[in-house]
Amino acid sequence: MVKYRASRGGRRVVRQRSRRRRTIAREAPGYQDGHENGYREGVQAGLASYDTIFDGTSIIIPTFNQRELLAKCINSIVRYTEPAYEIIVVDNGSTDGTAEYLARLGAIVRHRVLERNLGFAGACNIGLMMAKGRTLMLLNNDTLVTENWLENLLACLKSDADIGMVGPVTNFISGEQQIQVPYTDIHDMQSFASRFNRHDPNRWRNTDRLVGFCVLMQRETFLKLGYLDEGFELGNFEDDDWDIRVRLLGQRLVIAGDTFIHHFGSVSIRALGDGFQRVHSANERYYLDKWRGWQRWSGIVASSSGKDGRDGSLGLSELFPSGVAVRVGDADVYWVEGGKRRLVAGVLPIEAVKLSRVDLRRWPIGEPIEAQEALERWHAGVVPVEGKACAVALLPDGTAYHLEGDTARPLLGSAALKSWNLHLKPMAEVSETALEGWRQGAPIIALPKLLQAL
C-alpha cells in the first residue's frame, strides 16, 4: 500500500499535506494562548464575584512551620464538619514544605503563602479579607475539631443577636475555657468529644474573655469591629484587644460549654524560645497603652446608638474622632466630620491617617470638600481654654481630651493620641475644672495598626 502511494507521486502529496498542517498549526491558537485567555477569564470572574457571600462559615487558619499539625487540623475539619464551610489557610512564610503541601490539597482549601511572617494578626487579617462566609472563624493550626463542633458553635452564636463572639472549651488554654479531660492518649479524644458535644444551651455562659485559638462571629459583627491589630508582634493580646472591641459594641462573649475541641497548645509561641518574654512584654505594654481604664465604657456604642434613632451602623467608628483626614493605603484622602466622609479635592498639607477599607466604609459619603476648606476646619478646632489655644486639653492626671465643637472627648489610652495624629494639633495643659462647662462626649479609641493595605 505504501509503495502504491509512492508510485502515484506520494512524495508530492505528502509534502503538500505537510505544508497545510504546518500552516494550520501556525494559525490556530496554541496551548499558551489558551492558557493565558483562560487565566484572564478566571481573573475577571474572580473580580466579578469578589463581594459574593455564601451562607456558610469561613474557617481561617494562620500557620507557620507546623505542616504536620496543620494537616491533622485540616483532616479533622474535613471529617467532622457538616455545615457549609470553606477553609482558608494563610502561611506566614514557612520553610518546612507547608506551601507545597497546600498546593497539593487543591480545592480543599483556599490559601495564600506570604513571603515573610506577619504574625498571627497579620495572617488572620489576610484570611478575613479573603473570606466569603456569613460567619467567620479564626482557628489555630494546632487544634483538632470534633463531632458536632461547628453545629453547636453556630447554634450558640445565632441564639441571640446580643452575642458578638463565641468559643468552645478545650483541654489546654488559659482562663475559663479550659476543662479537665479523661483521656491521656490523643486516640481516645474523639470518643470523649462525641459524648461531650451534645447540644445543650444550659452549658452556655457569658465570659469577659475569649481566647483566640477558636472564635466564631457573624460577618456583620466583624464589619462593625474591624481587623485585628497588627501592632501586637507575632502573637499574644490581639485576641484580648478584639474581646474589648466586641464589648464596646455592647455585645456579649459566650463560651459554648457544649462544644469541645482539642488544643495541642501554643506551639508557635513556644517556638520563640527565649524571645517569648520580649514579645510578651512589648505586646503587654502596647495593650495597656490602648486600653487602660476601658471598662467604664463597656457597651458605649450600643448605648449611644440608641439615641437620635441611629442603628449603630458606624460600629466602632462611633468611637473615632471628628475633624481628621483619613485614607486607605495611598488612595484618596477623605475629611471625616459629623459622622460622614468627604472626598478631598486637591492636596491637603496635613498627614492623613491610614486605616482599612472596613473602617472607611462605615462612614456614609458626603459632598466633596476642597483641600483649603478641610485645612481651615482642621485649624478651626483650636479654641482657647484658660487662655491657652488648644485642640487637645491635657489634665493633671494625664487624661487627654479632644475638643470637638462644644464637646470634650476623652482619649482612651495614650495610643489613641498618635493613632489619629492628634498629637500634631496644638495641646495645652489645663486644670481639672477647665472642662466643666463642656459637654462630655464618647471616648476616642486607637485605630488597629495595619502593616498592609486591607
Instruction: Please check whether residue 253 is in contact with residue 161, taking contact to mean a CB–CB distance below 8 angstroms.
Output: no
Task: Give which of 453, 441, 362 is closest to 401, Cα–Cα.
Answer: 441
Q: Give this prediction's pTM.
A: 0.86
Q: How far is CA 233 from CA 95, 204, 283, in A?
A: 20, 32, 6
| Surface-to-core class of residue 223, CB atoms within 10 Å of its CB (0-12 exposed, 13-18 middle, 19+ buried) | middle
C-alpha cell recorded at residue 443: 471616648
Task: Give ranges for CATH 3.90.550.10 in the chain.
Answer: 54-291
Cβ neighbors of 204 (< 8 A, separation 6 or more) are 156, 159, 254, 255, 256, 257, 258
Write out pLDDT tens, residues 184-238.
999 999 999 999 999 999 999 999 999 999 999 999 999 999 999 999 987 789 9
Task: Give which of 154, 7, 172, 15 is closest to 83, Cα–Cα.
Answer: 154
CA 83 to chain centre: 23
Taken in order 34, 36, 38, 40, the sign of the CA dihedral is negative
CB neighbourhood size of 212 (10 A): 25
Helix, strand and coil percent figures for the chain, each rounded to 5: 40, 25, 35
Q: Looking at 13-81, which runs of residues are DSSP E strands?
A: 54-63
Q: Is 217 helix (H, G, I), strand (E, B) or coil?
A: strand
CA 193 to CA 196: how far, in whole Å? 5
What pLDDT sits at residue 26?
47
Cβ neighbors of 386 (< 8 A, separation 6 or more) are 428, 430, 431, 434
Q: Is 268 helix (H, G, I), strand (E, B) or coil?
A: helix
CA 328 to chain centre: 15
For the chain, count helices (H), then strands (E).
16, 22
CA 363 to chain centre: 18
Write out pLDDT tens, residues 8-61.
344 333 344 444 444 444 445 677 777 777 777 766 765 565 568 999 999 999
CB neighbourhood size of 258 (10 A): 22
C-alpha cell recorded at residue 446: 486607637
Q: Using only the alpha carbons of the chain, give its radius of gyration.
A: 28
Q: Please provide the DSSP assignment of 122-162 as one string.
A: HHHHHHHHH--EEEEEEE-TTEE--TTHHHHHHHHHTT-TT
| CATH C-level class of 54-291 | alpha beta
What pLDDT sits at residue 365?
96
C-alpha cell recorded at residue 147: 463531632
DSSP state letter for 352: P
What pLDDT sits at residue 371?
97
Q: Which long-range contacts (C-beta less than 8 Å, at least 24 apart) are formed by 219-223?
A: 219/53, 219/131, 219/133, 219/134, 219/135, 219/136, 221/164, 221/165, 221/246, 221/249, 221/251, 222/128, 222/136, 222/358, 223/315, 223/358, 223/362
CA 259 to CA 63: how far, in whole Å? 23
Burial 263-300 (b: 16+ CB within 10 A, else e): bbbbebbeebeeebeebbebbeebbebbbeebeebbeb
Q: What is the pLDDT along the chain (454 residues), one digit of tens a residue?
A: 333 333 334 433 334 444 444 444 444 567 777 777 777 776 676 556 556 899 999 999 999 999 999 999 999 999 999 999 999 999 999 999 999 999 999 999 999 999 999 999 999 999 999 999 999 999 999 999 999 999 999 999 999 999 999 999 999 999 999 999 999 999 999 999 999 999 999 999 999 999 999 999 999 999 999 999 999 987 789 999 999 999 999 999 999 999 999 999 866 555 556 667 888 888 999 999 999 889 999 999 987 765 443 455 789 999 999 999 999 988 999 999 999 999 999 999 999 999 999 999 999 999 999 999 999 999 888 889 998 999 999 999 889 999 999 999 999 988 999 999 999 999 999 998 999 989 999 999 999 999 887 7
